[in-house]
Chain A
């Protein structure tokens, strides 16, 4: 199939010779390195107000928590109110593994299976523009947690909420760890409008998204 690669690239080059001028190798590299942003949508509210407004519009819910104990309480309350049995799958992040759980609750840090109903994760960042949360895959944050269980609870540190998607990219680059296998930008529960254009929640991913805003 190397022929295909060669043929396609040759046709592209021939086609572009007809155009004004292609950029040099250095110019293309420099264009990438600049990471120039497009027009940035503006809004009046402060970052947090905008974030919460958009979270609500995305049909996700949220509550504020201050301590580990409050995270525990909020999760248990949420599970009880949705009649979820005493089993929780939890991401293995540093914060979440330090949380003390009551004995009646079985908590496992692992990837999700189709039997898991509820999951607790920790978000990498929040995006105020759209009310999205950003999940980066890794050993402490398996992707299946974000999609398999019906109920998705995520802790998000308020200081990780940024204005726009581009701010997340900047943050990722600053960390210098390269791209994770998957970055999931999640905005509310899973949905579909494939039956008569009527929006139904819980298509294949979580039916409900609940955010715990950690101050």
Chain B
């Protein structure tokens, strides 16, 4: 997918002024946060599970080569094949070649974020094939020709009216002309249309929430059941998964599954959790004849060896998005690439380039809620800070901002100068503000004062208050 992350500032402006988006975000925010809270509170073992999950992921990453090889052997033993891709281009090449090998025309797809990351739909279309998204959210944004705005709720930015209009535009030529007034009618229409797609598709592509080394299984978590229909009805099932998804055993998977749904949607478990192992068995009445797993690296093996290693623990639950004040204000599209929110602000600079994604790590208040709710306790603010450090060190930020920082650093290292300057500055500001005690306009601060008044400093600086308080208490004693 083409990144517009470099346009973050403009994207943000647009998002903040988009009334429809703002009301959709407001609607989504409370739901996700409250449901997660309730689900976590209802499970006393949550904290223990979190610790165990961290151990499992750390152990799996430390032995990633062994577990990937074990996984590969088990997939082969069950009659499937594993393909390795270093880059998005290699990955899409493998998938399109596989599809061509069965003369595929139509391809159903379950929701796969790695598929978005490698630009799979575009590659399939360029190869003359027709990808059909089957997750309702993904289907909606495919019709709208938009990228997902949330990693688990891709169409969270759309209102029911927008969806109804979109369906009318695309489905009326197929004979679906009735207006869709409520969400149930929308869901029913999508169900009817996609039913036919499942049975006429040649290939089904899904992602994977986990890979299991012990058995060579891929795990798929959904609520709709679309992933299972996608995987089971066509002649070929292709799983696209990133390399860090592998865990040793089925028991390890059980630990992570208990955290995943609670953190994502506030459910104990989703309606469907499926473990796929190989193609259909000889006596089976249905299921694909071929089973392929495409393992995608795309910078992850590099992350394993650098400061961003902890990010590979991510299980893509989306909790950090749902709890982020920045995401809640601007939505997913403003981030400009596949992954939004705090996890996206860490991943985009690593996958699309630090220069391309350099605005994203800056857009954080470091409030720390993301790390707090992350079921794998990924130190997201720390990783964002690391990006800021790199942006400065590699001179990607503007020279003005580097000068300003250098100046500030110099002053901060000279406390007497610092106190003297703040005393003068504060006195000056408070005198200029006069009896209004606030500024309507302030040079270098228009981003603030365009929206609201800037309060003027009142009274002396903290240091001089302390000093006079100390002097007073000395006199009293």
Does B67 have its Cβ within 8 Å of any Cβ on chain A? yes
Whether B160 and A196, one on each chain, are in contact in the complex, defined by CB atoms closer than 8 angstroms, is yes
A130 to B270, CA, bound (A): 10
CB-CB under 8 A from A181, the residues of chain B are: 276-281, 284, 287
Shortest CB distance B351–A (Å): 15
Shortest CB distance A42–B (Å): 7
Whether B285 and A190, one on each chain, are in contact in the complex, defined by CB atoms closer than 8 angstroms, is no
CB-CB under 8 A from B43, the residues of chain A are: 41
A110 to B90, CA, bound (A): 40
CB-CB under 8 A from B281, the residues of chain A are: 137-139, 180-181
Chain A CB within 10 Å — which of B27, B135, B249 has the most?
A: B249
CB-contacts of A165-208 with B (<8 A)? 165-166, 169, 178-198, 200, 202-206
Secondary structure at the A interface, as helix, strand, loop or mixed, is loop
A160 to B366, CA, bound (A): 49
CB-CB under 8 A from B196, the residues of chain A are: 114
Q: Which of the candidate stretches B123-131, B184-192, B419-427, B450-458 sits at the interface with the other chain? A: B184-192
Does B217 have its Cβ within 8 Å of any Cβ on chain A? yes
Whether A137 and B287, one on each chain, are in contact in the complex, defined by CB atoms closer than 8 angstroms, is yes
Asked if A4 meets B225 with Cβ closer than 8 Å, knowing A180-B281, A203-B136, the reply is no
Does B183 have its Cβ within 8 Å of any Cβ on chain A? yes
Contact size range, A: 35 or more
Does B372 have its Cβ within 8 Å of any Cβ on chain A? no
Does A158 have its Cβ within 8 Å of any Cβ on chain B? no
Closest to B191 in A: A204
Does B64 have its Cβ within 8 Å of any Cβ on chain A? yes
Whether A28 and B63, one on each chain, are in contact in the complex, defined by CB atoms closer than 8 angstroms, is yes
Out of A58, A166, A182, A200, which one reaches B228, CB within 8 Å?
A182
Shortest CB distance A2–B (Å): 8
Does B286 have its Cβ within 8 Å of any Cβ on chain A? yes
Does B15 have its Cβ within 8 Å of any Cβ on chain A? no
Asked if A194 meets B284 with Cβ closer than 8 Å, knowing A180-B277, A203-B136, the reply is no
Does B31 have its Cβ within 8 Å of any Cβ on chain A? yes
Whether B257 and A15, one on each chain, are in contact in the complex, defined by CB atoms closer than 8 angstroms, is no
CB-contacts of B61-104 with A (<8 A)? 61-70, 78, 83-86, 90, 94
Does A40 have its Cβ within 8 Å of any Cβ on chain B? yes
A110 to B286, CA, bound (A): 9
CB-CB under 8 A from B62, the residues of chain A are: 16, 19-20, 22-23
CB-CB under 8 A from A189, the residues of chain B are: 271
Q: Which of the candidate stretches A66-74, A97-105, A140-148 sits at the interface with the other chain? A: A140-148
CB-CB under 8 A from A9, the residues of chain B are: 65, 68-69
Does B213 have its Cβ within 8 Å of any Cβ on chain A? yes
Whether A195 and B254, one on each chain, are in contact in the complex, defined by CB atoms closer than 8 angstroms, is no
Whether A35 and B285, one on each chain, are in contact in the complex, defined by CB atoms closer than 8 angstroms, is no
Chain B CB within 10 Å — which of A28, A132, A184, A196 has the most?
A: A196
Out of A148, A179, A187, which one reaches B269, CB within 8 Å?
A187
Out of A8, A22, A23, A32, which one reaches B214, CB within 8 Å?
A32
Asked if A40 meets B45 with Cβ closer than 8 Å, knowing A142-B285, A179-B217, the reply is yes
Whether A165 and B254, one on each chain, are in contact in the complex, defined by CB atoms closer than 8 angstroms, is yes
Whether A144 and B269, one on each chain, are in contact in the complex, defined by CB atoms closer than 8 angstroms, is no
Does B433 have its Cβ within 8 Å of any Cβ on chain A? no
Whether B285 and A205, one on each chain, are in contact in the complex, defined by CB atoms closer than 8 angstroms, is no
Interface string of B230-252 (1 = CB under 8 A from A): 01110000000001000011111
CB-contacts of A1-57 with B (<8 A)? 1, 4-5, 7-9, 11-16, 18-20, 22-23, 25, 28, 31-32, 35-42, 54
Out of B137, B154, B228, which one reaches A184, CB within 8 Å?
B228
What are some 6 contacts across the A-B interface (CB < 8 A)?
A139-B285, A143-B228, A144-B285, A190-B224, A198-B183, A203-B224
- Name A's B-contacting residues (CB within 8 A): 1, 4-5, 7-9, 11-16, 18-20, 22-23, 25, 28, 31-32, 35-42, 54, 58, 110-111, 113-114, 129-130, 132, 137-139, 142-144, 146-148, 164-166, 169, 178-198, 200, 202-206
